[in-house]
Amino acid sequence: MKITVLGSTGRTGLPFVDRALAAGHDAVALARSPEKLGDRRDHERLTVVAGDATDPATVEEAVAGADAVVSLLGHADGAPDDLLTVAGDHVVAAMRDHGVERYVTLAGAGVRSDRDPGRSLGGRAVGAGLKLFAGDLLEDSREHVDRVVDTDLDWTVVRPPRLTEGPYTGDWEAGYLRMGMGDAISRADLAAFVLTCVEGDEWVRELPMVTGR
């Protein structure tokens, strides 16, 4: 499979690229700082498209010819508050133009689905804290998700709780979960779960939460 990755140089993006290449896929890394890919740039199955995810021409170049697109973008320093919405719109447009159907993207667990069970007290506290301290970013995530689920693409929105730098364990729980204050998943496990989403069809047109056990 040829997988285009936005956010390829991020803390989830790098392990995702490694895992996708190790699994035998071709990867196209859209990167505004390609040097962060390090030696991966020499990999025969990795193509780098240098540029910004808010630039439609860059996104189109990265998406053309792909079998699937994965967005692991995050509001890194200097990123606009509406990064996910703007980049997501460019991805959807490019996917339509080039007949690419599979799109897996990330949102925080603060983005709700009407299939979610009621929130625990801790979950409600985390939600209130996110709204208070990262309201604009949460709004961007929600808007991005609203627009993606409204498309006829084969989308998946993965909703992790707090991300950690822990190791890969392969031991996670996914679904419409009742998240609590202590829920977390390592970026290494998140990257692996996202790849299973891309490779299979279990979570097509679904918004799974995923947390470490």
Query: Shortest gap between Cβ of 50 and ligand NAP (angstroms)?
Result: 10
Query: Shortest gap between Cβ of 89 and ligand NAP (angstroms)?
Result: 13
Local structure of residue 101 (DSSP, 8 states): -
Angle between the N-to-C axes of helices 83-98 and 121-149, in degrees from 0 to 180, rounded to the nearest 10: 40
Residues of this chain, 110-139, that bind ligand NAP according to CB under 6 A: none
The residue among 35 and 152 lying less far from ligand NAP, judged by its C-beta, is 35
Q: Does residue 157 interact with ligand NAP by CB under 6 A? A: no
Structural tokens at position 40: 């991966």
- How far apart CA 116 and CA 20 sit, in angstroms, is 30
Number of residue whose CB is nearest ligand NAP: 10
Distance set, CA 62 to CA 9, 118, 178 (Å)? 15, 39, 36
**Residue of 3, 5, 7, 138 interacting with ligand NAP (CB under 6 A):** 7
> Which x/- pattern over 73-112 shows residues binding ligand NAP (rule: CB under 6 A)?
xx-x--x---x----------------------x-x----
Local structure of residue 212 (DSSP, 8 states): E
Q: Does residue 187 interact with ligand NAP by CB under 6 A? A: yes
- How far apart CA 131 and CA 117 sit, in angstroms, is 20
Q: What is the dihedral of CA 116, 119, 122, 123, to 10 degrees?
A: 40
Query: Shortest gap between Cβ of 84 and ligand NAP (angstroms)?
Result: 7
Which residues contact ligand NAP by CB under 6 A? 7-13, 32-33, 36, 52-54, 72-74, 76, 79, 83, 106, 108, 160, 162-163, 187
